[in-house]
Structure 1
């Protein structure tokens, strides 16, 4: 992959995030935010899946028939969609700021902002790359529908992960329980109404990040 200025900026941002976290661990003698490293790793998985799909589809390998190649691409795209909310999950880690003292607040907020921005860029870049791969003949309507769908599905996935504590791999290990909680969201009651309003707010943030990334960053 050609490293553009925007990609170099992303690498610098991730490096800055890890450096600030390292200094916090050394100064505070606490591993409190070490989970951010794991969350950032998970945020990178959808990007690498999207990158592999793009490379795989662009290769003209005679060993793969058109039908098999399409099946692999769309199967891998489902895997990408399964892990995509991990890229947009870190933004909810700001909830941990309520447990810190006033002395720690600003530095911790800076660390969380840096990790969140890195993850949002990785996730947005993966969405742009998948869109470019699956929809080569782009139209404004297709783009808008795809971005809105990804934003809403991301918000649902983040809610399932942050509030209900589900993980991506629970689709394999506990699909019945996960499906039950998803279907429960569609029951009309006061609590679910507030949950959907919150998820629509998150969807707006994710949609904005997609369009900002489309404008300022290159895949």
Structure 2
């Protein structure tokens, strides 16, 4: 129990439950959106949200494995699960890019003041809440894993780790949105992934597109994660006073 308390349990469980409730509310709103034809246009977000939860679940498993006293077993399992967390992590902030579907699937007349239509705001607010949920899920799992890195290797290494994860995740989100690869393609098609990534990064035209998108995505991730990190740290410090 002392080891679990050191990793901020049971508080983390409470946060996970709160995120679960928030997810149910967001997905209920997604399900309730219907077009005049009766079609529910955003049901694919259920799958995207499930994938966004995978790194959170893995982060909890990493905490549990971290307290195991058998070093060899712990090291192997952390290495494997850590790799899985890294490749699935972009699925959480990826939900931010689902905002584009409002402008794709909402039928409006650009010559009219469509923004006075409450149906437009209903869809925009619903997908905005999904985007915010993705940011929260990503911030939670990154904070949890960064905390383990900090306990093992120190503060500086943990921040280098976090920034590298955010930079590479920006590229991962680009790949998911524009190239349409999945996290598991790393295992099923590793050779193809490496080859196509090399082609993308050596094509000057495509590289400019990648850098521009990743720059803004990285800014969003940083300005959302750092305040959450600092508030969590300050709350912990104030409790210790």
TM-score (norm 2): 0.79
Q: Alpha-carbon deviations, 1:182-213, whole Å to 9, x = none? A: 11232151331232122121111112222132
What is the CA–CA distance in structure 1 between the aligned matches of 2:36 and 2:153, rounded to whole Å? 50
Cross-structure match for 1:186: 201
Uncovered stretches (5+) of structure 1, i.e. residues with no partner: none
RMSD: 2.5
Uncovered stretches (5+) of structure 2, i.e. residues with no partner: 1-8, 109-113, 234-241
2:214 equivalent to 1:210: no
Q: Considering only CA atoms, is the larger Rg found in Structure 1 or Structure 2?
A: 2
Cross-structure match for 1:50: 59
What is the CA–CA distance in structure 2 between the aligned matches of 1:122 and 1:112, rounded to whole Å? 15
Shift of 1:36: 1.0
Cross-structure match for 2:187: 172
Tell me, yes or no, if the aligned pair for 2:99 and 2:131 is still in contact at 8 Å: no
Cross-structure match for 2:10: 2
Moved more, 111-120 or 191-200: 191-200
Question: Secondary structure of the equivalent of 1:119?
Answer: helix
Question: Secondary structure of the equivalent of 1:59?
Answer: coil
| Structure 1 residue corresponding to 2:30, chosen from 21, 36, 49 | 21
Cross-structure match for 2:143: 128
- Structure 1 residues 82 and 7 mapped into 2: Cα distance closer, same or farther (>3 Å)? closer
Tell me, yes or no, if the aligned pair for 1:147 and 1:207 is still in contact at 8 Å: no
2:32 equivalent to 1:32: no
Shift of 1:141: 3.0
Moved more, 164-173 or 10-19: 10-19
